Each structure stands twice: as C-alpha cells, then as structure tokens.
Chain A
Amino acid sequence: MKKVKVIVMAMLILSTAGVNAQGKLFTRNGKINFFSKTTAENIDANNNEVFSIIDPQKNEVAFQVLNTGFKFEKALMQEHFNENYIESSKFPKAIFQGTITDPSMVDFNKEGNYNVTVTGSLLMHGVTNKVTIPATIHIADKKVSAESKFTVKLADYNIKIPAVVANQISETVVVSVNCQYEPYNR
C-alpha cells in the first residue's frame, strides 16, 4: 500500500513537472487584420483579441478568434460581416491548429528572426481546410513574437458573395497576424 502511495506521488510530481518544463507561450490580445481590395471599396477589419498559444517543445501552434470581435470602418459592414458572410451566431470562432514543419529553422532559446512554415487546419464558417502558411518568429530580450501574412479564398470556406455586391468584395482577402507572446502559466 505504501508503495502505491509512493508511486502515486512520484507520478504526480513528474507529471506536473513535465507540464512546467514545456514552457508554453500564450497571448490573448494578438492582432488579426483582414483586407479586401476592390476598385469600388476597400474593406479593412481588425481584431485585437486573438488568442494564440505556442508549444515550443512540440513545435505546435494554435489560434482562436471570435468573429464578433472584428471591428470595421463602417458599422454596416460589421453587421453584414456577422450576419450575412461569416454568420457569427452559427459559427462564432475561427480556429487554427498546426505545427511548424521545419522546426530546425527556429531556436526558441536564441535571439533572432526565424522564417518558418506552419501547416495545419483552419476552421472558419464551418469549413476546415488544410493550409500551409509562412510565418516569422522574432525572439529578442527573451520576448517571443510572431507574424504572418497569407491569403484566404472566400469560396474555400463556403462564403458566398451575391452578384450585386461582387464589385465591392474581393474573392480573396489578405489576412495579417501579429502576436506578442508571454509565458503561459496556467
């Protein structure tokens, strides 16, 4: 019986120690911008409440963002985005989970700018697609930040643009991501 207790304690200590040693990086106020450019109108939306986490041990990254958090230049654009295009009440979040495909390119313990490629699945508007996107990881003063810029084709996510507004909304939007990470200790 005593042996069991010892084992239990040992396992508990080991497991918690394991979690701490992973040193995950986290933010809840990352930034995502998306931009649609047409001759008639530009659409520029910002979300400053992007959740992101990096697990440097496993080279895994994840992002989540609430669609209602996107702020537009025009109130009507924001309403149309939520109601007609991204359908926030049905699909409240956009979710990305992926891995750094070339982990040898980055050393989280050494200062520098690292260009990497991230492959994973992007869930948006109820549709999941496998995507590969370029990203840059900056490490300076023990602070980790990351940025990325990629394009999303709206049709890939079953977002339909009615013909009458086709000249106002681009078929592809440019998405820019920028996150400053802190150590995750929860």
Chain B
Amino acid sequence: MRYILTTMLFFLAKTMLAQDSLTNLLDKEVSRQQAGKKQLTYATFKGTQLVNSRTIETLGKHDLDFRVSHRFGDIGGEFGGEKSFFGLENSTDVKISFDYGITNRLTAGISRSKGATSVRQLYEGSLKYKVLRQTDDNSMPVTVTAFSSAVVSSMASNSKPNTPDHFNSFSDRMSFTNQLLIARKFSDNFSLMVMPTFIHTNYVINNDQNNIYAIGIGGRVKLNKRMALIADYYKVFRSTASTNSFKANGLNFYNPLGAGIEFETGGHVFDFTFTNSTAILENQFIPYTTTSWKQWRFRWGFNLSRIFSLKKHK
C-alpha cells in the first residue's frame, strides 16, 4: 500500500513538474533579473508646470519646450463682470518661454513676460536640475528637483524715489527665485508636490522685504488618459511689520491659489486654469499677489506647451 502511495505521489509530482510551462520558467527568469533592478518612476506630472508652479519634471535630452502662458483680468469685482467680459478683455500677464533639455536631468530656459506688478518687461533665465529620482520599488520615495531663476526688468526707471521700478543700477532690476521641488507619484492617478521657496529681490521699497520665504503645495489627479485636475498653493511668509505697513497704505497681500484642468495630446499640453494671482513668474506671483478669490478677483488663464524633439537618439 505504502509503495503504491509513494509511487503515485512521485508520478503526481513529476506530472506537475512537466506542467511547469516555458512561460512559468520565463516568469521566474524575468523576476530574478528584475529583483536587482531599480525602475525609475515616470510621468509624475505631465509637463514642466502645474497652474502657477513649476513641477519636478525636466525635459528629455534635446527636447525643446515652447510655452505660452496667459492670465486675464479679474472675473468679478470692480474690474470684472460684463464690462470687461469677465476679465477676458484684459490681460494681467503674458509669458513666452523656451526651455531646452541639456541632459535628461538638466533643463535650461529663457522667457519674456509682461510682468504684473509695477515692475514690467521681464526677461528670465532659469535652470532646473533633477537631483533625486523616485523609484518604483520605493528605495527612493520622492523626486527632488532644484529650480533657480534670475529675472531682470528692461523697463525705463521711474524717476520717483522709493517706487518699485526706481532703478539706480542694473542690479536693482534683478530678482531671484530658488526652489526645491519635492514630489511623489503615489499612484498612476495621483501625484503630490511640496515646494520650499526663497525669493530675493535686489531692490525693494522701504516697507517691503528683500527676502521672502514661502512654502507651496501642488497636486495632480488624473481623470482619464488625457485629462487631469491640477492645483497649487503657496503660503507666503511676509513679516508682520511689512504686511501691516502695506495694509496701512490700503494694500493687502494674499496667498496665490490656482486650480485648473489639464488636457494632453501627444506633445501638446493645454492647462485651462483659474487663479487669484495676476503674475506668471515666481518672483512676482508669490510675494506680490494682491487680489483675492473672496472678492471675485480671480481670473481665467491658460498655459500652452508644445514639445519639439530636436535630435533623435538611439
């Protein structure tokens, strides 16, 4: 009896072994090879910008990103409503930019924008470097990108002293933004980013601050393959003395909050947005947003991106 049982068991085992198909063998070989490999997380965000904030994404090597951003006038309040067709007949800021991928991790950019405060005619040079990259096995849980920009105003200097556009020297025309962008793609459909920010403006009026710190939070929720909800917000740390001094002159600062819908189709990204901030560049919309959602002083806006691959690589 025992012999028969044992023999049967072995025949059974042998048949099972025989059923170990080639596909099962390959499954084992593939997972054996994958065990030691780190897969980098891709497409945390679609493109290099959310609503107002930059994202951790850098361009592919030799890719050129042409962008046009636009912010219209206040939808409601004193300047909005029917008389300006809900702000569409005004534009508070326009930006045209070119960014280029020097390597897959380093992007350099130049831009021109109108500027939304009394400092206008802005030229910007920027660098973005992907320092750390999230991996699918979570051995690196986040992607970290460093962003720096220098902005210079080309407008004629205001002769009146103690005005934001009264420039005594070339350096008075300059301001700088430094950010650490830290993001995690939690799932295929959800990514979140925090953005510690430091902005330095070389020349400011008496009650203003040369240095402003801020912390931002932004995210993207994919609705389907082509559409996503995007939003970002900055909490700005301005000193009480400065805030009160501006308030005494009737000017309140608000934290910029933007939300929108992103559409993507093979190389084009179109963001249709709403934001209370009037400016597009960080050095203006973070420290100098003076319009509030609560007063209906928010606006339509769009960001348009087209990527050109200048060089093929194998």
A residues near B, CB below 8 A?
3-4, 7-8, 11, 15, 19, 24, 26, 28, 46, 49, 51-53, 55, 60-64, 66, 68, 71, 73-77, 79-80, 82-84, 89-90, 93, 95, 97, 162, 164-165, 168, 186
Contacts and interface: CB of A to CB of B under 8 A. Distances in A.
B313 interface: yes
B30 A66 contact: yes
B33 interface: yes
Nearest to B41: A89
Nearest to A82: B42
Given A51-B30, A79-B43, A95-B26, 11 more contacts: A4-B2, A7-B3, A7-B7, A11-B14, A51-B26, A60-B21, A64-B29, A75-B59, A76-B267, A79-B42, A162-B265
B294 interface: no
Interface of B: 2-3, 6-7, 10, 13-14, 17, 21-23, 25-27, 29-30, 33-34, 39, 42-43, 59-61, 63, 101, 104, 188, 225-226, 265-267, 307, 309, 312-314
Given A15-B17, A75-B60, A162-B226, A53 B26 contact: yes
A26 B30 CA distance: 12
Contacts, number: 100
A84 B116 CA distance: 37
Q: Is the interface of B mostly helix, strand, loop or mixed?
A: mixed
B27 A11 contact: no
Contacts of A162: 226, 265-266
B59 to A, nearest CB: 8
B63 A75 contact: yes
Contacts of A60: 21-22
Contacts of A68: 39
